[in-house]
Structures are given as C-alpha cells and as structure tokens.
Structure 1
Amino acid sequence: MKPSSSADAQQRESVSEAIDLGAYFERIGYHGPWVPSFEVLQALMRRHMASIPFEAVDVMLGEGVDLDPVAVDRKMIHGGRGGYCFEHTSLFRRALQALGFALEPHLARVWIHGGSHAPAATHASLKVEVNGRLWLVDVGFGGFLSSQPLAWRPDQAQHTAFGTFRLVETRDGYMLENRYQEGWWPLYEILDFDWQPIDFEMANHYVATHPRSLFKRELMIARTEDEVRYSLSNNRFTTRFAHGMTQERVLDETALAETLAATFGLPVGDTWQAMIAAIVARGDGGGDG
C-alpha cells in the first residue's frame, strides 16, 4: 500500500484497515510469535487455508460482496464464513501488515478456464517481502494452489504437496503456471501495475454482480490442510491427498448440506436450502474447483 499524502489521510487509512489480530489468530488456530519472519508467514498461510474456506455463496445468492474491512472481518473472523479471493486477500494482507510485513497487492487475469481473448483482471494475490526475498502469497485461489508461499523466481519450478508451479515473465507481468502431465498449464497472469483500492473495488463488483460471473452459476468451495485438500464443484465433492490419490463422489441434498457444514465449517441456514436443491437438481457435478 502506498503512503497517504497527509497525516489525516494516514490516520483514516489506519483506522479503516485495522484488524483484531487476536481474534483473527483465534479464528485460524495460530499460537505462534507475532513477528514478520518467513516462518510466521508460512505458518499463517497454512493455518488460514486450513481454517477459512474459499467460497462465494453470497454471489450465488445474489447478496453481493462488501470489501469494507469491517464487513470482511465480521463475515470471516466472527461469522464463521469463508470468502473468495478479494475477501481472503483483504483479510490476510491486513494481518500481515499489522505484523510488519512489507507487501504489495496485485490483480491478475485468470486463464485457467481457457479462451483466446484476454480475460478481465478478476483475481487478487500478494507479493510479500521477507528479509530481502520476494514471495507470491495467495490464500484465495480455491482448490488450485498449495498452502505455502512460492518464491518470486521466474522460470524456476517449485514443487509442493499439491503440484509443481512456476512464474514466467510476460509482456504485462508474470504468469503463474501449473505442471500438468508433460507441459505447463496457465493459472493466472499477475499484472505489473500500481493498483489502487478502487481497482479492487471495481474488479470485485464485476465478479460479484456480473451475469457472466462464474460464481453466479457454480458453487465452488475449497479448504486445504497440510496433507489433504477438500473441494466442492457444485455437488461433486473431491478429496485430494498430498502427493497421492484423489477421491470423488456426487452428493445428494442431504449430503451436500452436511458436507458444507462438517467439512467446510459453514453455517448452512434456511436461506441456503433452495440453492442446494437447485444445484443437486441440475445434477452435472460441476467443473474443477
């Protein structure tokens, strides 16, 4: 985040960006030191992704997504909910900044769904500096990434429990790629630009409200532990074990509601039942999530 031009602006910004670190650490089950070290960054990322699921239920229900920090914290820290990339990035960024980490938020074009034309910039991630080294930190890309920082080292393959990744320089920034069979598959292109808060607001508005937003029609939920990742694509439930096998099953209404609550810790209420019924009735199992 860039410094404000006046003391008053800095004070307003500090208040609006404030986070209750104790409550956040309790939410994710973190009990380690409060210092800006790489070990702390690793631990926080692991605990965050294991405790707060990726989900965009509010978009599917037509309720929108509010990026005001108070709304994000009320929902994700105190409300037992998850969120999607803009919410996760907001929460994790503010926690890291409160600990003294230096970082930059970035927008990215998601290429994972293919297409020949450049997609809109609809994803948010972080570049974090620790002891002079840069890291890609992303806690909000659903079931596609591992729960560990990736070194900001272009062209270097990096092996994780849930895949091999690399950054490749492009005309507009850096493409994050995933090793797939004998080749590399693009995930998203991080745009090298001096992004401002309003840009994230606009991108969030598009993803949360545009009729063609993927989250308007697809239920995508994910939670990643050290040795296992759970994901839902509509009513298809997938369990991926680190470095190993994958299990899948298609859920009926009862099982889908139970999985949302038991596996992902989400507070399934009466307002979700019509959505659950519609997803199961559609019966296509969804795409990857």
Structure 2
Amino acid sequence: MSGAPDSMWQGSGVDLDAYLTRVGYQEDVAPDLATLRGLHTAHVDAIPFDNLDALLGRTAVPLDLDSVQEKIVRQGRGGWCLEQVVLMAAVLDRIGFTFTAFAGRTRIRSGSKVGPALHVALCVELDGERWLHDVSFGANGLHEPIRLAEGARLDGDWPFDLVREPTGEHVLRFLRPEGPAELYGFTTDVRYPSDFELLNHFCLTHPRSPFNHRMILQRTRAKVRHLLVGTALTEIRPGEPATSRELDAAEALSAPEEIFGITLEPRDVRTLGKTLAGP
C-alpha cells in the first residue's frame, strides 16, 4: 500500500507505521470512512497546534515531508497548520484516499470575512460524497470529518455545522453553548504544495502574521480543549461556556509540556523563557 511514486503529496515517502504509533491508531487502515474518521480523531487527540519554532529564532519552518516527519512523528512535537496538512496529506495518499487541498479565511479571532486565506485543509472524495478533513485548526476545530455540503452537521460533545453564504463560501461553525462561532470561510478552489510555501513564508515573517510574535498552542482532546494565546489560557469542555485565565511567567513557560504535551530541548526552553520575558 503506497501513494503513487510521482504524487505531489509524497505518500510513498511517509513512514506510515511510525505515524500510526505516534497518534495511537491501532486499527487496520483502508481508504474508507471508518479509517478517515479514526485517523482524524487520533491525530487531533495526539498532535497539538504549535507555533514555537517561530518564537525560537528559527529562520525557516521547512515543509518537506522528511522535516515534518522528523519534528512531529519522531521528536513528538506539534506543528502549525501547514506542517500538519503536509503530514496528513502524505498519510492519506499512502493509504489510497482521493483528495484535494483548499485554503480558508480564519474568522474565529479576527471576525473578518476578507482576511488572508492562511488556513489549509483537505477535501476528501469518498463513495460519491465530499468530506471536510481538517486536523490542524486547533482547540476550536473538528474532532472528526464533516460532510462537505450545505446544512451538514456534526452532533455529539463537539457539535459543528456548515452553512453557505450568498458569496458561495462555505463557513464552518463551532456550535458553542454561548452561540455559534464562525471558524473560517472557504471555497474548494484547489491549492497545491507550492501554495503552502507562500503561506508558510507569510506566517513566519510577515509583521501582520498572528503566529510569529506570541505563543499560540492548541490541543483538542475527547473531553477538554485548551488554547493558549500569549499568556491567556482558554479551556473548553463539552456543553459548557469557555473559561479563560492569565498565566504567570512560570506557568506560561511550563505550559507547552504540562498542558499541551510538547517536550522541548533544554536550550529551547531557555530561549523561550527569554522570549516570554520580553526586552
């Protein structure tokens, strides 16, 4: 079982066994809905959103599959959206799924419908239906795929729906107890790995990037979700309004490991501590 040798998603180069071990997925895999759902849930349970490289003085966040696997699979780190999509796309390609990538305009924090389309997710075609497969939006994101159709809905502990706007954009909404939160709007215009490089450069270097000047960590698990932006920690539990509190400097420095399961090298902990302390 392998992706086509010339596939742009590099399925033939992914270490599938190592990935499945990393996310704790123990079932057989096949290009079917059960596998798609199972991998989605296992991935978001195991792998946090992590922008720490941008704060640690890294001059680049490489998106080649070898680098992404080294960081997320072998080192046990998280990754930001583009890294996780590269990894997930290679895994799905290796298994034999048919899919394309698209970009979405995030609304959850900015509220803007016309901001840059920085978030990337996958549209999987399976048995005549399309599925939105998005493992990298973080604490507010999907816990399993949702059918990509107007009026589609996911119920359960973490409910979501999809609505269609007059512009033709789909909007993914997280149905919180305090009211729906629009996560991002998107069309399914196809994006390619070469597009990822441009988005990656913006996220790492642009002065208006939300990811290169403060710590952003997110983790989605079965019964609790955590989001850390700067020193503000938000906790979300099923059926309850979100709660937030400010962390002190020591708590913020220990949060990557203690809350988000990210183990850093000692030198990176020291660098992060200096970054959080500011000038």
The answer to whether the 8 A contact 1:107-1:200 is kept is no
Structure 1 runs, 4 residues or longer, greater than 6 Å off: none
Please report the TM-score for the alignment, with normalisation by the length of structure 1. Answer: 0.84
SS in 1 for 2:155: strand
Deviations 1:219-270 (A, max 9, x none): 1111111111122122223332222354443322332233211332212332
**Does the CA contact (< 8 Å) of 1:168 and 1:177 recur in 2?**
no
- 1:137 corresponds to 2:133: yes
The structure-2 alpha-carbon separation of the partners of 1:272 and 1:170, relative to structure 1 and needing over 3 Å to count, comes to farther
1:213 counterpart residue number: 209
1:273 aligns with 2:261: no
Q: SS of the counterpart of 1:271?
A: helix
* 244 and 180 in structure 1: CA distance in 2 versus 1, 3 angstrom threshold: closer
Could you tell me which residue of structure 1 aligns to residue 23 of structure 2? 28
1:124 aligns with 2:120: yes
Structure 1 16/22 Cα, relative in aligned 2: closer, same or farther at 3 Å?
same
Q: RMSD of the alignment, in Å?
A: 2.6
Structure 1's 62 and 130: CA in aligned 2 closer, same or farther, altered over 3 A?
same
Could you tell me the percent identity over the aligned residues? 28
Helix, strand or coil for the counterpart of 1:258? helix
Q: Does 2:247 correspond to 1:231?
A: no
3-state SS, counterpart of residue 142 of structure 1 = coil
- Write the mapping of 1:25-174 to structure 2, written as runs, cut at 5 A: 25-63=20-58, 64-114=60-110, 118-171=114-167, 173-174=169-170
Letter in 1 for 2:276: I
Aligned residues: 274
Check whether the contact 2:142–2:160 (CA below 8 A) recurs between aligned residues: no
User: Is the Cα–Cα contact under 8 Å of residues 252 and 280 in structure 1 kept in the other structure?
Assistant: no
| Contact 2:218/2:227 (8 A) holds in 1 | yes
Instruction: Please tell me the residue identity of whatever aligns with 1:21.
Output: L
Deviation at 1:185, TM superposition (A): 4.1
| Amino acid in structure 1 at the alignment position of 2:133 | V
Counterpart amino acid of residue 28 in structure 1: V
User: Which residue identity does 1:67 align to in structure 2?
Assistant: L
TM-score calculated relative to the size of structure 2 = 0.87
Match for 2:185 among 170, 189, 212?
189
In the alignment, the residues of structure 2 paired with residue 270 and residue 186 of structure 1 have an alpha-carbon distance, to the nearest angstrom, of 38
Relative to structure 1, the CA distance from residue 202 to residue 121 in structure 2 (aligned partners, 3 Å threshold; closer, same or farther) is: same
Flag structure 2 segments of 5+ consecutive residues without an equivalent: none
For structure 1, the residue ranges without an aligned partner over 5 or more in a row are 4-9, 283-289
| Equivalent residues of 1:50, 1:224 under 8 A apart | yes
In structure 1, C-alpha distance between the alignment counterparts of 2:235 and 2:36, rounded to whole Å: 26
Moved more, 209-218 or 180-189: 180-189
Equivalent pair of 1:166/1:178 in contact (CA under 8 Å): no
Instruction: Answer 1 or 2: which has greater helix percent.
Output: 1
Moved more, 180-189 or 16-25: 180-189
